[in-house]
Amino acid sequence: MNDIRTILSTGQPGQAITAKGWVRTKRDTKNAVFLELNDGSCMSSIQCVFDAATMNPELVAVLGHSGTGAAVAVSGTLVESPAAGQKIELKAEALTLIGACPQEGYPLQKKAHSLEFLREIAHLRPRTNTFGAVSRMRDEMAFATHSFFRDRHFRYVHTPIITASDAEGAGEMFQVTTLDLEAMAKSGKAPDYSKDFFGKKAMLSVSGQLNVETHCMALGRVYTFGPTFRAENSNTTRHLAEFWMIEPEMAFAELEDDMELAESYIKHLLSWALDSCAEDLAFFDKRIQPGLIAMLDGVRSKAFVHMSYTDAVKELEKTKDTFEFKPYWGCDLQTEHERFLTETLVKAPVIVTDYPKDLKAFYMRQNDDGKTVRAMDVLVPRIGEIIGGSEREYRYDKLVENMQAKGLDPASYWWYLDLRRFGSAPHAGFGLGFERLLRYVTGMENIRDVIPFPRAVKQAEF
Ligand code: 4AD
Ligand code: MG
């Protein structure tokens, strides 16, 4: 392999090589021309040095067209570098211009750009240091996810994106239809879904959980990892309309097993970032979120704190004046509450359990108190909720009761209920929001900056 990452880590002085990539900067001095060449394989660029004394007119002409952004190939010999911060550089002898980059109109010149501006050129932003590092980290965290679950004998299941059931029962779904909306609006007739593509109303899935539970009751340990869609009208730095979620599900497991899995999984991801992504993490620590490395390192060596919802509300009530939304038993925890618990009170990740049943989805197992469910949310500093999960209601009658209490029609969940009729067993799982995790490990503030092409309210360019 001759990507720049390999050249920089294993290249030896005296070795003849050709490096291909995009010019980051070009600097002319009296005696030499310096090209910083980057190919995205790692954060670092390779410095290519052209000696002015040996340059022929043809090379001078090509160099003239090799400004920032141009795709080029540089051949030469590796030499020890006199410059600080790099072991080797390329003593360049030949240069091929593969793709010119006219400087006029190219938005990524040398000056630093705001993240807001870069969001408007999402097709070019992976070429910057910040978004290159985010993209590599995203890939690393996906890989670390698969390796974590594989080591624990979980099977990866692909759940559908188009669905007829509302997995969370929250009604925040995008509809999928081939009906002619304009013709219908003109005729004033109500839609006839029996004539729609699927013969019934269909939506984009908010969660793969219900589908993955079918395989949990067959393969035991499973997970799904895919895009999910929510039409929440939340224009925040924490919400996307399209986001990726990892949802493991374990048979013969209870809430304690679920919490253990969630904590081990997060720690595995942080360790992977610290041990295998040092160069990019150092960049985030220096440029994006000072203290990030020490914070992540601290989290992986400490046990997560467990706290019931009831105890959490008692703590919040002690300082209720500091909150915009006054906390009380039965209230949905707001981000300000979540952040207080994890950042101020505990100063570490917290797992809040046993929420009031009215706040949570129909599939969660009810406690014997009749008021709370075996739910757990993992809250982490800066982010708030990163994981939501629960032990599932595996008793048929109770599940039907919960559905009815929430106004859901059990008939439309018939196949899900079958799992409770035939060989039902206690099981538990959770969902980790992949982009929230990425905000946590990179220190990036806005969730739109950790997914290549964000979809949010009024945002679907590119
Ligand atoms: O808490 P949620 O809604 O749980 C579920 O969907 C369950 N079916 C999971 C399960 O038990 N299998 O969502 C899980 C996580 C949240 O904790 C959050 O990290 C993330 O998904 N999330 C979002 N991320 C970005 N944008 C949004 N609009 C999100 N909504 C939820
Ligand atoms: Mg949740």
Give per-residue pLDDT as tens, 249-288.
999 999 999 999 999 999 999 999 999 999 999 999 999 9
User: Phi then psi for 53, rounded to 5 degrees?
Assistant: -65, -30
The closest-lying atom of ligand 1 relative to the alpha carbon of residue 386 is 19
pLDDT, mean of each 10-residue run, the chain (462 residues): 94 97 95 97 97 93 94 97 90 97 89 92 96 98 98 98 87 93 91 95 97 98 98 91 98 98 98 98 98 96 96 95 94 95 95 97 97 98 96 98 95 96 98 98 98 94 89
pLDDT at 170: 77
Tokens of 320: 């209720």
* Smallest-distance ligand from the CA of 386: 1
Whether the CB-CB separation of 382 and 338 falls below 8 Å is answered with: no
For residue 457, how far is its CA from the centre of ligand 2 (angstroms)? Answer: 20
Give the predicted TM-score (pTM) of the model: 0.96
The closest-lying atom of ligand 1 relative to the alpha carbon of residue 167 is 8
Most ligand 1 atoms within 8 A of CB, residue of 222, 255, 380, 436 to mutate: 436
Q: Whose CA is nearest to atom 5 of ligand 1?
A: 431
Whether the CB-CB separation of 156 and 149 falls below 8 Å is answered with: yes
Closest residue by Cα to residue 255 from 401, 385, 430: 430
Q: What are the boundaries of each domain within the chain?
A: 4-99, 125-170+206-449
Most ligand 1 atoms within 8 A of CB, residue of 216, 222, 240, 243 to mutate: 243
Report the C-alpha gap between 428 and 52 in whole angstroms.
67
Q: If residue 439 lies in a helix (H) or strand (E), which one and from where to where? A: helix 434-442
How far is the first Cα of the chain from the last one, in angstroms, to the nearest whole number? 32
Q: What CA–CA distances, in Å, run from 313 to 84, 333, 369, 371? A: 54, 9, 18, 15
pLDDT tens column, 349-385? 999 999 999 999 999 999 999 999 999 999 999 999 9
Q: Whose CA is nearest to atom 22 of ligand 1?
A: 433
pLDDT at 362: 96
Whether the CB-CB separation of 394 and 365 falls below 8 Å is answered with: yes
pLDDT at 404: 96
For residue 2, how far is its CA from the centre of ligand 1 (angstroms)? Answer: 41
Domain 4-99: assigned CATH number: 2.40.50.140
What is 125-170+206-449's CATH topology?
BirA Bifunctional Protein; domain 2 (3.30.930)
pLDDT at 168: 84
For residue 287, how far is its CA from the centre of ligand 1 (angstroms)? Answer: 29
pLDDT at 167: 81
Residue 15 DSSP class: -
Tell me which residues have their CB closer than 6 angstroms to ligand 1. Answer: 167-168, 207, 209, 230, 232, 239-240, 243, 245, 247, 385-390, 429-431, 433, 435-436
For residue 385, how far is its CA from the centre of ligand 1 (angstroms)? Answer: 9
* Smallest-distance ligand from the CA of 389: 1
pLDDT at 169: 77
